[in-house]
Structure 1
Amino acid sequence: MKLIVVLLAIALTVSVALCGIAYFDYPGVFDQDAIPLGLDLSGGSLLVFEADTKESPSADDMNAVISMMRSRLDTLGYTEAAVTKSGEKRIQIEIPEISDPGEASAKLGATAVLTFRNADGDIVLDGDDIAGAKAQYGPTSSVSGKYEHYVSVTLTSAAVSKFSAATTAAAAQSASKKNYISIMLDENVISQPYVSETITSSDIMISGSFDEAGASYLAGVIAAGRLPFALKEIQAQSLSPQLGESALTSSLIAGGIGVILVMLFMMLVYKMPGFVASIALLEYT
């Protein structure tokens, strides 16, 4: 009877190791999608940006840009991406899994200058006026009560008075339908709320038919801060995998066989304690 229990335990453990558990979103050892891949295995994009300044920026400013880019990539889930300084004015970014350099640049939002503009195009607020931003889900209108993903932005104390003056001026133009404030990222309008009265709150809601990923991305870009100088893209190219699919498959097979052999040894020698140790090994793996 004990032998049957041990054999069943071995079969169950091996099955979980190989196939995973779909219900709990637990991957098997051969599930390549569950493993974040670097450029050598997945390929990706290479982007090079140069500081658009007459003189070379300071080391602190360059490090600040690298930190902001790193934060944006982490927000997007590209934890395997690499951001490095190249020379005095250039920053090189390698992003795995995105083969289209244009898509990589768009997702990164390399310049990502946030501005609030009135109907005449005048800037009333910019990134320096933002104290913080976070993605949220909830009602965006007290009238409809509709729940949506949106970005909650907190203004600095100095910006509250500027925004109050801008919304007062905008509300006065309701007859000409110019009573709106455009919220722009670079030259793209991401939201254009209409203003009916003066807004004196330090909290602003940016809504625009976002999904969860879109709201999180925008909040991350805003929260990461404004770049200390403008960047211009000087190189964008697609990179092919250096090792290829066969290398990844061989590595997974070898690793899977090794894990299974270790689990079999522990369960055959130590019985139930070995089974428990195998479960712990699976969780660690």
Structure 2
Amino acid sequence: MKWGRFMAFLLMAVIILGVTVGTAGRLWKSIPLGLDLQGGFNILYQVQTPHNRALTASEKQALVKAVELRVDTIGVSSPEIDLEGHNQIRVQLAGTFNQQTAANVIGETAQLKIYSGGKVVTQKDKATGKKVQVMVPSGKLLATGADLKSNAQAQQDPTTGQNEVAISFKDPKLWQNITTKYLNKQIYVFLNGTLLTDPTIDSKMYNGNSVISGGTLTTVQACQDLAKELNAGALPYPLKKQSESSVGPTLGQASLRATLWAGMIAVILIFIFMMLVYRMAGLIADLALIGYGYLTLVIFDGLHVVLTLPGLAALILGVGMAVDANIIAYERIKDEMRNGRSLKSAVKIGNKNALRTILDSNATTFIAGAVMYFLGGQGDIRGFAVALMISIIVSLLTAVLLSRLMFFSFVNSNILRRPWWFGIGKGVLKKDEA
């Protein structure tokens, strides 16, 4: 039984070290990094609501969803989209991409509108100041980009080779009614207030499918850009860019390396401290800390958490919190042993007395993290709060459950009986009480 318990302890230690060494590197690479660690683009937009009023809950959801759809068309993974204040939205995109294109796709709304009529008016050209004749909408508004499905795609007419954009209406009946009413008549398609094309409807269309061509849609790229904007959906309100900043990939990697080095040094010092002060108990705590780090990475990967610099700091802070839980338990155990209890009895009673203190201290920190998450506002603060709350939960699992299980297994094996191995003076431990 003695060696069986010791082998159970060794097996747990080997599993922790083996799994961590074997898969931690691959797991780390699968966790997406924020722009402060990877480099990227940070844009703050002002939502231009009527009379600058605050967004309602439904408007916030619609706005975030529309921006998410727009970001998806860029092909950037793991974006961070956060509402700030009552009418601002911040978009953080990590990685390497065309930042100007990204800003245009996110902030510029493809206002596609179809009218029953158009008229020529004389206006002053903003660029040259000269008077020019332009076509403006008139008549009835028949449909908008909001009436379209998100499946627009660039293509070429198989007969003429002309570039065009294929579109589909959400309600086929709407397009059928338009093509029926305006059969053999012109309709006017405007994009962002500029006439795109004014085709004549030559047949009724019943399935809601059609194409847009002509105007500025002369190249494949122009058709692809329009298709992406149409698929991105209509924003509830226009966005005005307030500020933008970029972090180069070199700077981001430098921040990551510096933080990892600092974290590694801190962890090594903690490991050494625990083994010097608590000896074998400290070694068990160090093994539990390795389990803490690995399990935290697993949860980050499973929840698709974007790891930022504040989040990485919270992860390292969690190491200290996990150690703190072990220290509280070990000091309670040492107190019981000094009072003359056997090792097994001291471990049992010391852990029981320490549990309430550990739970209370972690609960208060978790509450602080929850408040930061819900009231913090900015993405960095919320990222720190998420990482902190995950770290607290995992540290409780490893410090209270894993560390305790390993400690009980080792103590019950009776391999080591000198008090020195558990951070207490000299001599021989009292025999176990029945």
TM bracket (short chain): 0.5 to 0.7
Residues 203-242 of structure 1 mapped to structure 2, 5 A cutoff: 203-207=209-213, 208-211=217-220, 215=224, 217-227=225-235, 229-241=236-248
Kindly tell me: are residues 47 and 206 of structure 1, through their superposed partners in 2, closer, same or farther at Cα, counting changes over 3 Å? farther
Cα contact 1:47–1:105 (8 A) shared by 2: no
**In the alignment, which residue of structure 2 is the partner of 1:65?**
63
Q: Secondary structure at the match of 1:182?
A: strand
Question: Which residue number corresponds to residue 195 of structure 1?
Answer: 200
Structure 1 residues 234 and 225: CA distance shift in structure 2, 3 A: closer
Q: Aligned AA for 2:49?
A: D
Is the 8 Å Cα contact of residues 119 and 182 (structure 1) preserved in structure 2?
A: no
Q: Is 2:126 aligned against 1:124?
A: no
Q: Deviation of residue 113 (structure 1)?
A: 2.5
1:49 equivalent in alignment to 2:46: yes
Question: What CA deviation, in whole Å up to 9, does each residue of 1:194-229 have, x standing for no partner?
Answer: 2152443421112423536952x53343234323x3
Structure 1 segment 21-100 matched on structure 2, within 5 A: 38-40=34-36, 41-54=38-51, 55-96=53-94, 97=96
In the aligned structure 2, how far is the partner of 1:196 from the partner of 1:64?
34
1:76 Cα offset (Å): 1.4
Partner of 1:150: 165
What TM-score does the superposition give when structure 1 sets the normalisation length? 0.56
The Cα shift of 1:94 comes to 2.2
Task: Decide whether the 8 Å contact of 2:45 with 2:89 is kept in 1.
Answer: yes
Q: Which amino acid aligns with 1:192?
A: T
Which whole-Å deviations, capped at 9, do the CAs of 1:51-91 have from their partners, x for residues lacking one? 42233222122112101111111111122432111122221
Say which structure, 1 or 2, has more relative contact order (CA 8 Å, 6+ apart).
1
Shift of 1:104: 3.6
How many residues align? The count is: 203
Opposite residue 61 of structure 2, the aligned amino acid is N
Judging changes above 3 Å, is the alpha-carbon distance between structure 1 residues 181 and 167 closer, same or farther for their aligned structure 2 residues? farther
RMSD: 3.8
TM-score (norm 2): 0.39
The unaligned stretches of length 5 or more in structure 1 are 1-35, 173-178, 252-285
Structure 2 SS opposite 1:69: helix
Q: Which amino acid aligns with 2:152?
A: K
Deviation at 1:135, TM superposition (A): 1.5
Superimposed CA distance per residue, residues 166-214 of structure 1 (whole angstroms, 9 cap, x where no aligned partner): 643xx44xxxxxx453241x2355x415215244342111242353695
**Over residues 109-146 of structure 1, what are the superposed CA-to-partner deviations in whole Å (9 max), with x where a residue is unaligned?**
44332212343313321134224433254x4264x2x2
Q: Which has the larger radius of gyration?
A: 2
What secondary structure sits across from 2:143 in the alignment? strand
Q: Could you list the runs of 4 or more consecutive aligned residues of structure 1 that deviate by over 6 angstroms after TM superposition?
A: 248-251
Provide closer, same or farther for how the CA distance between residues 210 and 183 of structure 1 changes in structure 2, counting only shifts above 3 A.
farther
1:135 matched to 2:153? The reply is yes
109, 112, 115: which is aligned to 1:114? 112
Q: Contact 2:46–2:241 (CA<8 Å) still a contact in 1?
A: yes
* 8 Å Cα contact 2:107/2:239 also seen in 1: no
Query: Structure 1 residues 194, 65: closer, same or farther in 2, change over 3 A?
Result: same
CA distance in 2, matches of 1:38, 1:250: 14
The structure-2 alpha-carbon separation of the partners of 1:236 and 1:206, relative to structure 1 and needing over 3 Å to count, comes to farther
Identity of aligned residues (%): 17
Structure 1 residues 124 and 218: alpha-carbon distance in aligned structure 2, compared to 1, 3 A threshold: same
- For the 8 Å contact 1:133–1:152, the answer to whether it is kept is yes
8 A Cα contact 2:153 2:166, kept in partner:
yes
The one-letter amino acid paired with 1:48 is Y
2:48–2:237 contact (8 Å) kept in structure 1: yes
